Amino acid sequence: MNLSPESMIDVIPYLTTGLWYTFIITIVGVAVGCVIGTIFGFMRLAQNRLISTIAGIYVEVVRGTPLLAQIFFLHFGIPNLIGFSMDALISGYIILAINSGAYIAEIVRGGVQSVDKGQLEAGKSLGLNGLQTMRYIIWPQAVKIMIPPFGNQFIISLKDTSLLATIAVGELIYQAQQFTALTFDAFEAYFMVCLFYLIITIPASLLLRFTERRLGT
Amino acid sequence: MIKVSNLHKSFGDNEVLTDITAEVDAQEVVCVIGPSGSGKSTFLRCLNRLEDITQGEVLIDEVNIADPNTDINVVRQDVGMVFQHFNLFPHKSVLDNVMLAPTKLKRDSKEEIQSRCLNLLEKVGLSDKAEAYPSSLSGGQKQRVAIARALAMNPKVMLFDEPTSALDPELVGDVLAVMKDLANEGMTMVVVTHEMGFAKEVGDRVFFMDEGRMVEEGTPTQVFDETRHERTREFLSKIL
Ligand SMILES: Nc1ncnc2c1ncn2[C@@H]1O[C@H](COP(=O)(O)OP(=O)(O)O)[C@@H](O)[C@H]1O
Ligand SMILES: [Mg+2]
């Protein structure tokens, strides 16, 4: 056993940089994922079979393949086929958006579907059109239902960014690898990495639980 | 006001309404009675096209809502509906429940709408609950809010689908009282109900439905006391 407490301090500047990447990729990726997820979630609910099938295929492909395969496919596979290379960070944003978008689409679909059908009928019977009923009656209730699973997905996506180390995106794991390559203090580096993840995930969980309680869900 | 001609309604292969022809005049109160599963709700829901009409005509104030070219949203503004399970908007206060549709659909100023909706709440005896949320109300109170909400669009017709069936017995009276006031004011009403007392007292006419057909139709006296059809007699003997 030879623990090096200084390394735990020395690794911090690396990890602060890494944390920033982890954080920004998650925020941007999940934000875009929300847009994608909302669009595809509604597409899945569409009466039109073609539209709902397209959305269904997207969701199934993403859910049925490992994230690492998606990363390599997008970052190495596609550029190889069409002959250009993509900045790893850009790949990271895109992957996270596409990946979280599929899961969020399912959350949106589930949220909208779990609003009581009587609400739709009440809205319609008053003369509101489909869009107005969705916007003023169904959606606000669906969002409330969606918050807990969305919070979960946010935390999952945050941890998922760690796989982007494989394409040299400078997030937490990658930074720890860089540090370890110089110092060989793997225990210290990865111990601190876990701590850094927890710095975000624990408050996120608490915030989520607090929100859930306030919404009474 | 309402004219139904040869209405058929099927869910898949299952025909649940067969060749229904009926009329409801302006200011008339019609009570629809019949055993469970006889198609009363489906009939009512065809009157504002919450159910697609398989075949036949449904005229609301001369407009055929069975015609796919009819803008049903406009017609529905004139046809209020009250549901068995209230279907209040849980995320909105009582007043906002009542104000939502007129605010989005009518041109009147917000102040006008608000004062009209507050009047409606007073009418159903719930002025003091304007700021409350539906979850804090009793069933009877919820149903009265639902009636006020439907009235907020100033409908020409009100449809009620078993408005008191989900209520504790001691709360039924308040809701029926509100409906009776409404009837006395001259509202055209179609009421699916098991409250035979209400049908006799307030109803101008009674429809008896069985197995998707309009079996018997007439004044309460005709249907209850001078019953013509065996099926009706059987049903009434069970329920009275
Ligand atoms: N959405 C639906 N899909 C399929 N069948 C339905 C649907 N709604 C009602 N039915 C059927 O139509 C028949 C009449 O139902 P309903 O109008 O609710 O009767 P009631 O209101 O008189 O009890 C029943 O046999 C019921 O199972
Ligand atoms: Mg019914």
Mean pLDDT of B120-148: 96
Contact B101 A144 (CB under 8 A): no
Q: Cα separation of B54 and B49, whole Å? A: 11
End-to-end CA distance of chain A: 48
* Band of pLDDT at residue B125, cut at 50, 70 and 90: very high
Domain around A113: 5-215
The complex scores an ipTM of 0.94
Q: What is the mean pLDDT of chain A?
A: 94
The reply to whether B63 touches chain A by the CB within 8 Å rule is: no
Mean pLDDT of B80-109: 96
What's the CATH number where A109 sits?
1.10.3720.10
Of A127, A128, A141, which is closest to B90 when you measure between CB atoms? A141
Q: How high is the pLDDT of residue A128?
A: 97
The reply to whether A124 touches chain B by the CB within 8 Å rule is: yes
Beta-strand relationship, B188-192 and B29-33: parallel
Q: Which atom of ligand 1 is nearest to the CA of B12?
A: 4
Residue A11 has pLDDT above 80, yes or no: yes
Q: Which atom of ligand 1 is nearest to the CA of B192?
A: 21
Q: How high is the pLDDT of residue A213?
A: 87
Q: Give pTM, 2 decimals.
A: 0.91
Q: How high is the pLDDT of residue A75?
A: 95
- Please provide residue B21's backbone torsions phi and psi, each rounded to the nearest 5 degrees: -125, 130
Residue B4 has pLDDT above 70, yes or no: yes
Of A119, A128, A140, which is closest to B104 when you measure between CB atoms? A128
Three-state helix/strand/coil letters over chain B: CEEEEEEEEEECCEEEEEEEEEEECCCCEEEEECCCCCCHHHHHHHCCCCCCCCEEEEEECCEECCCCCCCHHHHHCCEEEECCCCCCCCCCCHHHHHHHHHHHHCCCCHHHHHHHHHHHHHHCCCHHHCCCCHHHCCHHHHHHHHHHHHHCCCCCEEEEECCCCCCCHHHHHHHHHHHHHHHHCCCEEEEECCCHHHHHHHCCEEEEEECCEEEEEECHHHHHHCCCCHHHHHHHHHHC
Contact B50 A127 (CB under 8 A): no
- Please provide residue B59's backbone torsions phi and psi, each rounded to the nearest 5 degrees: -100, 125
Q: Which of B41, B54, B210 to mutate to test the pocket of ligand 1 (most atoms within 8 A of CB)?
A: B41
Q: Please name each of the domains of chain B with its CATH number.
A: 2-89+156-237 (3.40.50.300)
Residue A182 has pLDDT above 70, yes or no: yes
Cα B64 to middle of ligand 1, angstroms: 23
Minimum-distance ligand to the CA of B14? 1
For B34-46, write each residue's pLDDT tens digit. 999 999 999 999 9
Q: How high is the pLDDT of residue A6?
A: 87
Domain total for chain A?
1
Q: How high is the pLDDT of residue A3?
A: 86
Q: Cα separation of A154 and B150, whole Å? A: 41
| Cβ–Cβ < 8 Å for A30, A100 | yes
Mean pLDDT of B1-21: 96
| Cβ–Cβ < 8 Å for B164, B172 | yes
Task: Return the SS3 of B116.
Answer: helix
Q: Cα separation of A151 and A207, whole Å? A: 9
- Please provide residue B192's backbone torsions phi and psi, each rounded to the nearest 5 degrees: -80, 125
Q: How high is the pLDDT of residue B98?
A: 97
Q: How high is the pLDDT of residue A77?
A: 94
Query: What number of residues does chain B have?
Result: 240
Q: Cα separation of A199 and A159, whole Å? A: 12
Residue B107's contacts (CB-CB under 8 Å, 6 or more residues apart) are none
Q: How high is the pLDDT of residue A195?
A: 95
* Band of pLDDT at residue A83, cut at 50, 70 and 90: confident
